[in-house]
Amino acid sequence: MTDLQSIAPRDKAEILAQALPYIRQFHGKTMVIKYGGNAMTDPALQQDFAEDVVLLKLVGMNPVVVHGGGPQIEQALKKLGKKGEFVQGMRVTDAETMEVVEWVLAGEVQQDIVGLINQAGGKAVGLTGRDGGLIRARKLKMLDHHDPAVEHDVGQVGDIVEIDPSVVKALQDDAFIPVVSPIGFGEDNESYNINADVVASRLATVLQAEKLVMLTNIPGVLDKAGQLLPELTPQQIDSLIADGTISGGMLPKLAGAIDAAKAGVHAVHIVDGRVPHSMLLEILTDQAYGTMIRSQD
C-alpha cells in the first residue's frame, strides 16, 4: 500500500480537493455497505475497512454495515464435524446449523466488526433482525430450477417479509454506526438465515439510501473480454445476463443490486474489496474501483 509520507504535498492536496464535492454532496445521506470477501478476512484490509467507515461517519454520512460470514460458518461447522450441504447454491440450515450460524454471525463475526470500528474511533452497535423487530422473515420456498413443481426444503433459510428500520434510524441519529447480521425472525420467534446481499439491498431500499456499496472479491462487472464495466444501468445488465456475459455467482448479487436501483437507491457500487480503501476511493473520488449501477438511464 502507498505510504502517505511518500505522496508529495501537492498530490495530497489534490486528493483532498477531489473528495470535497463528494463530501458536500453526500453529507447527511445513508450509505449501506455489504461487507464480505477478502476485505473481511485479511487483517490489513479489515483495518482499512473500519477506518473508511469511521471516516464516512466523521464527514457527515450515515454508514450502515451488513455483513456475511460464509467461510466462518463453514469453519465452525467443520470443527463440530458437520459437513455443509447446499441445494442450488443455498446452504441447507437445519436447527443445529442455525444455532452455529447465529453464534458465528451475531457473536464472533459481528463483534469483530464492531470492535474494529470502535478501535478506529467510531461507535458501532451490533444488531440482528430480532433487535427492534428489524427483519421479519418466513421460510424460503425454493423451487427446483428444472422443475418448478418440485420444492426443496432448505430448513431455516429465510425470505424477508418486512424490514422495520426504526432501530437503525435511531442509532444513526445518535451518531452510532449500525452493524447488521443477516438473521431474521419468524412469527413464532424462530430464527432464519438470510442471504446478506438480499438483506443489504432491501435495507438500502427501505432506508432510501443514497448508495449501496457491495464489497466483493472481483474487480466489478466485466465484459466478455474481461474488461471492467465502470458504469451500467439496470437495462444494460438485463442485456448482459441475456447474452450470457453475466452468469454464476454474480447473478444473485446483481439481482439485489438491480432491485435496489429500481426501487430508488441512487447508485449501487460493486467494488473490489481486495484493493485497500477501495470503498472510500469509489465514493469520494472520480476513479472507478468497481462497477456503478445507476437507478436511471
Binding-site positions for substrate: 69-70, 91, 193
| Contact between 203 and 182 (Cβ < 8 Å) | no
Length of the chain: 297
Binding residues are 69-70, 91, 193
H helix or E strand, kind and range, residue 66: strand 62-67
Single out the residue of 275, 270, 246 nearest to residue 34, CA to CA: 270
How many whole angstroms from its chain centre is CA 174? 22
The phi, psi pair for 214, rounded to 5°, reads: -115, 115
Q: Is 64 left (phi over 0), alpha (psi -120 to 50) or beta?
A: beta
188's grid cell: 413464532
Single out the residue of 76, 55, 65, 181 nearest to residue 122, CA to CA: 55
CA 64/CA 182 separation, integer angstroms = 13
Q: Is 63 left (phi over 0), alpha (psi -120 to 50) or beta?
A: beta
